[in-house]
Amino acid sequence: MKRIQLSKNFYLDEFQRSQTATRHGIDMTIVEGGVFHANLKRLCRDVLQPVRNHFGPVSITSGYRPAKLNKLIKGSKTSQHLTCQAADFVVPGHTPLEVARWIRDNCKGYDQLIHEFGEWVHVSVPQHNQLPRQMNLTAAKLSGLFGRLKTVYVTGLISVETAIKGAA
Ligand SMILES: [Zn+2]
């Protein structure tokens, strides 16, 4: 199979991988030349390729999420993963916080940047005709009622411990 290149080091198939989708037989096709394809190209050009150039290999942990998949993993109904505007990723050997702060300080085209639970970075680009919001957030789990954990989003790129203290 011919791989479809998005930028120097990124390929379309990296954004189509999902164990949940495979298990449930969900179609992960992204139409070549379509809007979703264009969104991923912008995501690579404006954020992921610069990160790759600076830090080294990047591992995409979640890219495209068709509605069915998004529902199964309980994603937000307005998730930018639905339209290929967002990706979750890690850079082996570097903390997500370090990488997120580098994006904040060196990339201009990102829309929403989230340091998620100290585990990975979520980053998105705006739709092609919109301005990037350059929002910076940290997601953390707080213990709520009946021992249930609830997710809180705190402004800024901070450690999860600091986010929990600030939100408590
Ligand atoms: Zn995400």
Q: What is the DSSP string of 56-105?
A: ---EEEE----HHHHHHTT--TT-GGGGT-EEEEE-TTS-HHHHHHHHHH
* Ligand 1 geometric centre to CA of 87 (Å): 5
The predicted model gives 2-30 an average pLDDT of 97
Q: Which listed CATH number (3.40.50.300, 3.30.565.10, 3.30.1380.10, 3.10.150.10) goes with 5-167?
A: 3.30.1380.10
160 band by pLDDT with thresholds 50, 70 and 90: very high
2 band by pLDDT with thresholds 50, 70 and 90: confident
pLDDT recorded at residue 20: 97
Instruction: Give burial (CB, 10 Å; 0-12/13-18/19+) of 149.
Output: exposed
* Ligand 1 geometric centre to CA of 8 (Å): 22
Residue 143 has pLDDT above 80, yes or no: yes
* Ligand 1 geometric centre to CA of 86 (Å): 6
